[in-house]
Amino acid sequence: MSRRPFDPRLLRRVPAARRDLAVLAILGVLAAGLIVAQATALASLLATAIDGRLDRPALAGFVVAVAARSALVWAQGTVSARVAATVKATLRADLLGAVGRHGPGWVAGQRAGEIATLAGRGLDALDAYFTGYLPQLVLSVTVPLAVLARVVFADWSSAVIIALTLPLIPIFGALLGWQAQAATERQWRRLALLGGHFLDMVAGLPTLRAFGRARAQTDVVRRMADGHRVATMKTLRIAFLSALVLELVATLSVALVAVPVGIRLLGGGLALQTALLVLLLTPEAYLPLRAAGSRFHASMEGLAALDEALTVSAAPAAPRAAEGASTPDARAEIRFEGVTVAYERTTALRDVTLTIRPGERIAIIGPSGAGKSTLLGLLLGFVTPTSGRITVDGVDLATADPDAWRRQLAWVPQRAHLFAASLADNIRLGAPDTPADALAAAVHDAALDDVVDGLPDGLDTLLGERGHGLSSGQRQRVALARAFLRAAPVVLLDEPTARLDTAAEAVVLDATRRLVAGRTALLVAHRPALLADADRILRIEDGRVTELTPEPTGEATR
């Protein structure tokens, strides 16, 4: 994590925040001037009051300064809240964009929970940084300088003491801040780990209950939560110690100024108004530094999340195509040339050489985890080859425009994700401007008519998250309707009949046959019914691809 109180990457990644940050700096300068003006007016007012007179100009100046400072505090709060909202919205959009650039594999498993925690609780912690610490950071620069400039002309000896003792607060704050930083990093890691594990556990809760492991996972979450609690208390302990040290240093520093001023005032060596001015301004010089130090600890979780968000969203993805890169024609021949996909602990595909001719329907079989979905992920651009290349019509997909290429693909995954929107919007996901007649045709081709007729508002019926309200077979038919609507020359189907009963499988199979007719199609299949219409059958096992000979019954032999 960056040890700097302000990360310069923020200005580059969130340019919309520059204006508000500049306004905060200007407000900080104005606040410093008002503090000096208020103390000057109050010192004059008190000095004349002791003599039994009322200095009306000083009273008016004091009232105006107090009112102006109140308005300035309101303005600082408004601007800092606005910049916090801008930064959080931008960083959340950047995180979502990073997930989109890297593909589903990058955010799978534990990382999904960590990113969800970062985008939610993590970035929300930036409120304390922008609304509390950052305004004080500005004041900790402007106010001490303004106070010193004013005290130098009033009493130079007091100004020397202030100048010598002011650095003590940031020095002690930095020494304790290093310890707090390490504790905060441990706290954030435990929170991210807890969020990731909890999300993974909730997603697999039905499986855990079926195998009687739900209570064991509850104990695991409890232990992880206890670890986060302990880390949080250690961080708070350091923060409280830091506040105590900063208060002690600031109090002693003020005393070093106040005692000589009092002695000189009693001895007649210092005018009453000057002594009052010095005594009023001296605490103001230390106050912003003390406040910044205490609020820094409250904002450290947000700073840790900010550093993590900037790092994650800037993580390099697969090299993108250059401006004006050629777009391959998906109706041409697709070639895999010595393609290998290796991960940290396993190799998904090994030296795959394969040619897919236009209009071919290829079925892909093999045991779970053999690399079937990885093969489709390569064509979708979600997976990058470790070695080798994939060409379409002679164009290397690594140098092609990925968005233009994907527009020529239709993808039906194992578990189609449906959003909390209308059924029509879910079908139009890849083609939002589709006219009503084309939408109706896609619904008919995907055998969704009976589903639409059974919904209260037809295509305008709002679905729950993940398609709540539809069965597995109905969700798969929605995914097929998306593919029909896309009208792409290449269709990729990843076990479209998985987890379906016999009746639902038959309906999906009929729709699938209509979808792949006249198109290049790759079908990942476990069930023999999908193999019947395949031109070729490929078997993937241990990352290697071999071709089988299809039989009329849909079975396959070497």
Q: Decide if 309 contacts 94 (C-beta within 8 A).
A: yes
pLDDT greater than 70 at residue 103: no
Higher pLDDT among residues 23 and 106, named by residue: 23
pLDDT greater than 70 at residue 204: no
pLDDT for the residue numbered 212 = 63
In order, the DSSP letters of 470-522 are: S-HHHHHHHHHHHHHHHT-SEEEEE-TTTT--HHHHHHHHHHHHHHHTTSEEE
**Is the pTM value of this prediction over 0.75?**
no
Segments of 144-270 assigned E as strands: none
Per-residue pLDDT reduced to its tens digit, 307-365: 777 877 776 555 555 455 677 888 888 898 888 888 767 788 888 888 888 888 888 88
Per-residue pLDDT reduced to its tens digit, 161-190: 888 888 887 777 666 666 666 666 666 666
Per-residue pLDDT reduced to its tens digit, 430-470: 777 788 888 888 888 887 887 777 778 788 888 877 677 77
Q: Which CATH superfamily is domain 8-313 in?
A: ABC transporter type 1, transmembrane domain (1.20.1560.10)
Q: Decide if 20 contacts 134 (C-beta within 8 A).
A: no
Architecture of the CATH domain 334-548: 3-Layer(aba) Sandwich (3.40)
pLDDT for the residue numbered 29 = 92
Distances from the Cα of 344 to the Cα of 104, 162, 317, 341, 347, angstroms? 17, 58, 17, 10, 8
List the single range of 212-216, 234-238, 318-322, 480-484 with lowest mean pLDDT: 318-322
Model confidence at 200, in pLDDT bands (50, 70, 90)? low
Per-residue pLDDT reduced to its tens digit, 360-391: 888 888 887 777 888 888 888 878 888 888 88
List the single range of 220-224, 284-288, 459-463 with lowest mean pLDDT: 220-224
Residues 276-293 have a mean pLDDT of 84
pLDDT for the residue numbered 72 = 92
Largest CA distance in the chain: 115
Please, which residues bridge with residue 330 across strands?
Answer: none
Model confidence at 414, in pLDDT bands (50, 70, 90)? confident
Per-residue pLDDT reduced to its tens digit, 121-145: 778 888 888 888 888 888 888 999 9
- Exposure b/e, 180-196, CB count within 10 A at least 16 = b: bbebbbbbbbbbbbbbb
pLDDT for the residue numbered 332 = 86
Mean pLDDT of the chain: 78
pLDDT greater than 60 at residue 107: no
pLDDT greater than 60 at residue 106: no
pLDDT for the residue numbered 67 = 93
Model confidence at 109, in pLDDT bands (50, 70, 90)? very low
Model confidence at 70, in pLDDT bands (50, 70, 90)? very high
pLDDT greater than 70 at residue 490: yes
Per-residue pLDDT reduced to its tens digit, 226-284: 777 777 777 777 666 766 777 787 788 888 888 888 888 888 888 888 888 888 888 88
Rounded Cα distance between 190 and 230, Å, is 10
pLDDT greater than 90 at residue 74: yes
Domain boundaries of the chain, sorted by first residue:
8-313, 334-548
pLDDT for the residue numbered 552 = 52
pLDDT for the residue numbered 177 = 61
pLDDT for the residue numbered 214 = 62
Q: Give pairs for 325-328: CB < 8 Å, separation 24+.
A: 325/399, 325/400, 325/401, 326/395, 326/399, 326/400, 326/401, 327/395, 327/400, 327/401, 327/404, 327/405, 328/391, 328/392, 328/393, 328/394, 328/395, 328/397, 328/400, 328/405
